[in-house]
């Protein structure tokens, strides 16, 4: 157990050194707001799909692996359902603009920008292979139910944004390589790998840049914010681990890499997309930014024991 804790702590530490570089880029004005928006767009639209595609290229089809992929999808759906139920029951605020942000933040984790890099660091391409399923569910639920939670049921999205997003595009392009056990020609596969390798440093630099911009003082004065942090960083991931333990009791051959990858995605801090959607639909952007930044910092303390516990529990 201690070895697992030290392994995850080391990998989280590596990620936060990269985050510190992002903070430095902000303070030294090496990157401005326009540049970081470009980096964010590059990550979302190019790098994230390449990460997912590359993870599928690394795998060879087998019926058991396809079954594990289905279980990953099912547990990812469960994570969002249980998060939604807890958020709707426990989180209330007199300000509707803030209430939507609080609930959204408790439900959605930073599975792409924080989860995928950590999954790759501790599990390799196999971890990203299963973590991609969490990202797909995140995108589908985020732009439907998530927008409804943020905006109290307002119709604010469309079918295209639901079905066409970085997660679904990455899986749609990568899944045939897995199903047919083929590799793309090197002139295609090598650039995909090189772009995928950009994910961890660019994602952490982006997170660090936004951390340096955030003013946490107004947010830290609200007690409900600590409740959101506890739900996002502790309650939901532990509920997901509990569900995985129950699933293993029914399916003894459950893939341990899948279990750890999904637990890692569920334990990530508040999704960076919280601020983007809050700004788009005129919600409380200050609270959204504070929650993203604050839980990202707190995840230094929470992710190592939770992911380490999952590694120990599932025998990876």
Q: Which H helix or E strand runs over 104? A: helix 96-107
Q: C-alpha angle with apex 171: 167 to 174, nearest 5 degrees?
A: 135
Average pLDDT, the chain: 87
With tokens 């999954």, the residue in question is 119
CA distance 275 to 287: 9
* 172-210 pLDDT per residue, tens: 899 999 999 999 999 999 999 999 889 888 888 888 888
Q: Encode burial over 198-207: b for 16+ CB neighbours within 10 A, e otherwise.
A: bbbebbbbbb
Residue 297 lies in domain: 2-314
The four Cα atoms 144, 146, 151, 155 give a dihedral, to 10 degrees, of 0
What is residue 156's predicted lDDT score, i.e. its pLDDT?
53
CA distance 236 to 302: 12
Q: Region 242-255: what's the mean pLDDT?
A: 94
CA distance 106 to 214: 19
Length of the chain as a residue count: 316
CATH of the domain at 216: 1.20.1530
With tokens 């914010």, the residue in question is 225
Count of structural domains, the chain: 1
* 125-181 pLDDT per residue, tens: 889 889 988 988 888 888 778 888 988 755 555 666 667 777 788 888 999 999 999
Contact yes or no for 270/108 (Cβ under 8 A): yes
Contact yes or no for 170/50 (Cβ under 8 A): yes
């Amino acid at each position: 157990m201690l070895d697992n804790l030290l392994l995850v702590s080391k990998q989280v530490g590596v990620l936060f050194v990269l985050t510190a570089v992002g903070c430095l880029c902000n303070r030294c004005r090496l990157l401005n707001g326009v540049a970081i928006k470009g980096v964010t767009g590059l990550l979302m639209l190019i790098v994230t799909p390449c990460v997912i595609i590359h993870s599928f290229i690394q795998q060879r089809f087998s019926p058991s692996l396809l079954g594990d992929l289905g279980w990953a999808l099912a547990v990812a759906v469960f994570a969002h359902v249980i998060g939604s139920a807890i958020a709707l029951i426990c989180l209330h605020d007199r300000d509707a603009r803030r209430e939507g942000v609080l609930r959204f933040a408790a439900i959605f984790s930073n599975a792409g920008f924080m989860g995928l890099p950590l999954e790759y660091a501790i599990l390799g391409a196999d971890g990203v292979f299963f973590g991609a399923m969490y990202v797909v569910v995140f995108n589908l639920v985020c732009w439907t139910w998530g927008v409804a939670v943020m905006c109290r049921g307002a119709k604010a999205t469309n079918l295209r944004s639901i079905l066409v997003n970085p997660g679904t595009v990455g899986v749609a392009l990568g899944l045939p390589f897995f199903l047919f056990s083929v590799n793309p020609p090197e002139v295609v596969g090598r650039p995909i790998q090189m772009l995928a390798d950009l994910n961890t440093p660019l994602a952490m630099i982006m997170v660090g840049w936004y951390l340096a911009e955030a003013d946490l003082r107004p947010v830290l004065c609200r007690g409900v914010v600590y409740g959101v942090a506890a739900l996002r960083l502790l309650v939901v991931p532990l509920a997901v681990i509990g569900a995985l333990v129950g699933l293993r009791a029914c399916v003894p051959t459950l893939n341990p890499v899948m279990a750890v990858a999904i637990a890692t995605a569920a334990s990530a801090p508040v999704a960076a997309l919280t601020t983007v959607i809050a700004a788009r639909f005129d919600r409380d952007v200050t609270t959204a930014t504070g929650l993203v930044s604050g839980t990202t910092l707190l995840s230094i303390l929470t992710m190592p024991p939770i992911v380490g516990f999952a590694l120990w529990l599932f025998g990876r």
